[in-house]
Amino acid sequence: MKNCLFLFLFIINISVASSQTPEGTKDQTIEVKPDLVSAENRKKLTYQTTLSILGSEFHGVRSNFTLSMGYFFNSKNLINLRYTFQNSAGAPQPTSTIQFPESARAISIGDRYFFGNSFNVLGSIFWKQHSKFDLSTNRTYFSKDYGVGFSIGNEWQWEHFTMGFDWIGFNHSLIKVRNTFPSTSFATDQELTMNFFKFYLGYSF
């Protein structure tokens, strides 16, 4: 009987001892620095400015830059105003080696909506002016229009530094205010144009 009682007390003692926190570790917490993810960083920001110098916004005009000023309505919505300027020597026509200089200017306003950390979609409305100089007739042709744009991309935020890609997008002309181009093939200004791999850098605060 005594042996059974001793064994019972011994087992209880071991169980209690194993459930206790070792001295020196009680109430001790391990501090883990949280990851500085883009979604968390956006919560601390109000304004953003970015510059894009890689990628074409509108079809047919290759060299461009886009300056953007943005306001973080919240961590998921970035309202931005963008100015795009594109200038190109133009591509030679099939029947001639003569190049036709052309340029485009656009102002757009849109909302970049974030689905999580960096993935986002950008919807916008724009006003655009496209001009092209015909060396054979010594005449400049113009078109002005309003339209809508859409793109998908990723944008990363490290403290105040911003980097992003608009991987694919389109611009669709809805209303032609003016168009003096003699033909759509000469204008290279179709109603629907695609753009790819637009890269931008910026500062947010």
Q: What is the CATH number of the domain that holds 197?
A: 2.40.160.20
pLDDT number for residue 78: 98
Closest CA to 200 of 91, 37, 65: 65
**CA–CA distance, 30 with 5 (Å, rounded to integer):** 42
pLDDT (average), residues 90-101: 53
* Amino acid 140: pLDDT: 83
Q: Is residue 8 part of a domain?
A: no
Q: Would 157 be classed as within a structural domain?
A: yes
Count up the domains in the chain and report the number: 1
Residue 54 lies in a domain: yes
Q: How far apart are the first and last CA of the chain?
A: 77
Q: Does the pTM exceed 0.75?
A: no
Whether 23 is covered by a domain: the verdict is no
Q: Which residues of 145-166 are buried (b: 16+ CB within 10 A; e: fewer)?
A: bebebebebebebeeeebbbbb
pLDDT of residue 189: 54
Range of the domain at 79: 48-130+141-204
Distance (Å, rounded) from C-alpha 138 to C-alpha 179? Answer: 17
Q: For residues 119-136, b (16+ Cβ closer than 10 Å) or e, as one string?
A: ebbbebebebebbbebee
Asked whether residue 104 is domain-assigned, the answer is yes
* Residue 15 domain flag: no
Q: Is residue 17 part of a domain?
A: no
Q: Which pLDDT belongs to residue 147?
A: 94
Residue 186 resides in a domain: yes
Hunting for tokens 């409305």 — which residue is that?
125
CA distance 194 to 186: 18
